[in-house]
Amino acid sequence: MMAMSCKDGKGIMDNGKYVRYTPEQVEALERLYHECPKPSSIRRQQLIRECPILSNIEPKQIKVWFQNRRCREKQRKEASRLQAVNRKLTAMNKLLMEENDRLQKQVSQLVYENGYFRQHTQNTTLATKDTSCESVVTSGQHHLTPQHPPRDASPAGLLSIAEETLTEFLSKATGTAVEWVQMPGMKPGPDSIGIVAISHGCTGVAARACGLVGLEPTRVAEILKDRPSWFRDCRAVDVLNVLPTANGGTIELLYMQLYAPTTLAPARDFWLLRYTSVMEDGSLVVCERSLKNTQNGPSMPPVQHFVRAEMLPSGYLIRPCEGGGSIIHIVDHMDLEPWSVPEVLRPLYESSTVLAQKTTMAALRQLRQIAQEVSQSNVTGWGRRPAALRALSQRLSRGFNEALNGFTDEGWSMMGNDGIDDVTILVNSSPEKLTGLNLSFANGFPAVSNAVLCAKASMLLQNVPPAILLRFLREHRSEWADNNIDAYSAAAVKVGPCSLPGSRVGSFGSQVILPLAHTIEHEEFLEVIKLEGVGHCPEDAMMPRDMFLLQLCSGMDENAVGTCAELIFAPIDASFADDAPLLPSGFRIIPLDSGKEASSPNRTLDLASALEIGPAGNRSSNDYAANGGNTRSVMTIAFEFAFESHLQENVASMARQYVRSIISSVQRVALALSPSHLSSHAGLRAPLGTPEAHTLARWICQSYSGKGSHNARLRFCLSIHSLGVYLEIKIPAGLLAGDISSGNKFTLLCYLGVELLKSSGEGSESILKTLWHHSDAIMCCSLKVGDLILNAVDGAGNTCFLVLAFLTKGPNPCGALPVFTFANQAGLDMLETTLVALQDITLEKIFDDHGRKTLCSEFPQIMQQGFACLQGGICLSSMGRPVSYERAVAWKVLNEEENAHCVCFMFMNWSFV
């Protein structure tokens, strides 16, 4: 085959099929690719004009080069992903082999002890009990707290305690000192958080986890030692003394305080010894235990308002992993003194599942989150780095815990009640608290608010899963919130002087949820809430303003076992600075029935499930799914207000009444959400699982495949030129619907009858579930006139006229807006929004001018023929980020009466630019 030279000799063309580029041309194209990996035809023409070195190459060849370059990039990423999965599988296999060895040892020990027990009971010749041969096993368990000989507080005595702590910790982490059973709802796998287990039958509560993290052992130890940075319930850890050891390790004496999770229980504290050392195989060990008077070591006197709890030998075993990263074993073992709390709350302090969720798994999540941030090192929501967003989440959670506990050493003092002690009022006027708020007027003068008030209360809930209730509170704020109180809170922090609520006439019509960040497993969300049209002052009634809340939401997965649900928010300024003043308020809902562990002495880790590949982090097993009809939980409410000191009584009265009204609203909502009001067998449904959603999913799929009508089966337009491929299509006789047109763009219309989904079942639930998890972004668009969604589309084409008029900025007397009414998970990710905020996004906002023109030209075809194919391009998410898509399909969704219900869009192979 003969090669032909280009006109300037810089490129070689082989019979017009491909071009051999010079190194200079490749360098120029690579530079352009990093600037814009998917240029439009206009952009490619511009590139040729701006870069003379490419002037000899045809635009079609440049388009092919970019397509090939994107394909190579995709293959490179896939190869890298597969290598990472292979490394995870190798390390996971090592963990599973170690776990198998440990279980075999445990089985052998139980068999031996069982034989000894039989021999002992069958020996009837023993007249008296021989205490010297007494078994150390009771119900198949070791005594984990042996009698320690007295020791002194000298370095040698502390080292003796430390070495014993290390031995006991290792026996729990890799040995058989504790009988571990699989954590309910956890299935280990390469994409899961790790292998998580809880104790059965031992003293106190205990949890154990094994996992892989992409950080070096020293970095892992540094993060885990900084417990307040990842353990939200940890108030402080004070290192009182540090002693080096002869083997290169360190012994530390620590005093740790934990927040109380509710107003009904006191806080906990610990007096600890922490031992850090390096083992012979290079593993790094950090182990801890409480120091007690029986050990004759250094003591710490009791602290007022705290209950002294005990930490039994616990810690972290960190081993370097081949290829980078670490394999980590975590053991948490505590006695939280359940006797000190009301009986109704004792399951919370007797549950190993709760300990695993709040402490053990929280440590693994923090490590995975930081490892991902280090590997990506990108800027996330609103131009902030992940570390800054994590700091904001930590500030919200810590501020809520501080207000909830109201420690006197932080300046909180209690006010008297009004004869009813259902709501507790605390006041804080310490300079440190006000300095942290940084209150000021809009004109720069100091604020007159010189104190902070907190109103808090707790209530017991029956038969309502915390995740369902929290989701309702998040998505339906108007059902419980008073916009006047919200306006007062925002004004006190941001604007300055503002009269008490009662005279306010401003109101907000809706809330918009703006996603900001989320954790890897989506168990926690940080978002900005925009309350539209809030009046800060009476004169704002004619011109209401928007108000913003920074909100932290967690525990919305109703299948997660032992997880508390939290909704914490604080008013912020529109500028949203990293050091913005925060006065957190919100809700915490803690399940109380997770103490009834779904474990038995005969249950072991389900290691076979570890071979499943895919997200399995916090999923519930079928045999342990939460029963909505038997759940109990305690809800704690805390609201903070900044105020002027001379208005303390008035603000306290307002806050007390406000919290009581919220309690009343929550009780009403909880009754409405009770399973007895929804379904006698199906439990509670998420908003996505409503009958309307199931019906819409069925209509979408039927309209796509053309099964909804015998006379109007869906036809697809394949633009061969735009796809850059050559297709040979064999069409059975009688199915040809159009002719191949001449010109640059070849269009073939045929009845394909393609199925949108390959559902595993025929039921509507299966269709909705499959549609929800579809890899392409699917979203529906309808007309919105005011607050009314027009689902039905006029068969005469009036809707088409209105949409076209809006997109082209033409006359639109009805004020109709094409808005999105449904999207699957990929669609929400692409738009960077939620189901609640979806209807606030109009169709024209996501397209640029070129996209709007393309849609206008194709819309008549959608309404007349039922479908249209759109070329690839760029659209915008709700956060303003550009999103590229390879191609898109739009089709008319028909209802049961064959009338147009809405228009559905599917964006294929989309990615953020």
Instruction: State the pLDDT at residue 627.
Output: 42
pLDDT reported for residue 439:
47
d(CA 145, CA 139): 16
Distance CA 423, CA 453 (A): 12
- What pLDDT score does 90 carry? 74
Of 126-135, 189-198, 575-584, 764-773, least confident by mean pLDDT is: 126-135
Burial of 342 (0-12, 13-18, 19+ CB in 10 A): exposed
Beta strands 545-554 and 137-138 are: unpaired
Comparison of pLDDT for 598 and 77, the residue scoring more: 77
pLDDT of 687 reads 46
Whether 567 has a pLDDT exceeding 90, the answer reads yes
The reported pLDDT for the residue numbered 619 is 36
pLDDT, greater one: 486 or 883: 883
pLDDT average, residue stretch 440-466: 74
| pLDDT band with cut points at 50, 70 and 90 for residue 589 | very high
**Which distant-in-sequence residues (6+ apart) come within 8 Å of 289 by Cβ?**
161, 165, 168, 272, 273, 311, 312, 313, 314
pLDDT of residue 730: 38
**Average pLDDT over every residue of 267-281:** 94
Sheet strands side by side (includes 12-14): 4-5, 12-14, 18-20
Q: 657, exposed or middle or buried, with CB in 10 Å at 0-12, 13-18, 19+? A: middle
Mean pLDDT of the chain: 74
Task: Read off the pLDDT of each residue in 556-572 and give the average, rounded to a whole number.
Answer: 87
Average pLDDT over residues 349-369: 92
Could you report the per-residue pLDDT of 684-697, keeping only the tens digit for each? 333 455 777 888 88
Cβ neighbour number for residue 585 with a 10 Å cutoff = 26
Q: DSSP letters along 458-490, please?
A: EEEEES--HHHHHHHHHH-GGGT--HHHHHHHH
Weakest mean pLDDT among 479-488, 540-549, 554-563, 700-709: 540-549
Q: Give the C-alpha distances (Å, rounded to integers) separating 420 from 404, 457, 882.
A: 19, 12, 55
Cβ partners under 8 Å of residue 166, min gap 6: 275, 277, 285, 287
Structure tokens at 391: 């700091």
* 848 band by pLDDT with thresholds 50, 70 and 90: confident
Helix (H) or strand (E) holding 871: strand 867-876
pLDDT range class, residue 172, cuts 50, 70, 90:
very high
Is 254's pLDDT higher than 90? yes
Answer whether residue 776 shows pLDDT above 70: yes
What is the structure's pLDDT at 332?
A: 96
Q: pLDDT at position 242, please?
A: 93
Phi, psi (rounded to 5 degrees) for 695: -65, -45
Return the amino acid letter for 653.
S
Asked if pLDDT for residue 6 goes beyond 60, the answer is no
Q: What is the pLDDT of residues 361-407, one digit of tens each?
A: 999 999 988 988 887 766 565 667 888 888 999 999 999 999 999 99
Looking at the predicted structure, is the pLDDT value of residue 505 above 60?
no
Q: Which of 39-43, 485-489, 788-792, 868-872 has the lowest mean pLDDT?
A: 788-792
Give the pTM.
0.64
- pLDDT at residue 180 is higher than 80: yes
pLDDT greater than 60 at residue 263: yes
pLDDT recorded at residue 133: 36
Beta strands 306-308 and 267-278, pairing class: parallel
What three-state secondary structure class fits 425? strand
- Please give the Cα distance from 804 to 811 (Å, whole number): 10
Specify the 3-state DSSP secondary structure of 564: coil
∠ at Cα 412 (407, 416), nearest 5°?
A: 115
Q: What is the mean pLDDT of residues 860-889?
A: 81
What are the phi and psi torsion angles at 862 (to 5°)? -60, -45
CB-based contacts of 444, cutoff 8 Å, min separation 6: none
CA 378 – CA 912 distance, rounded (Å): 13
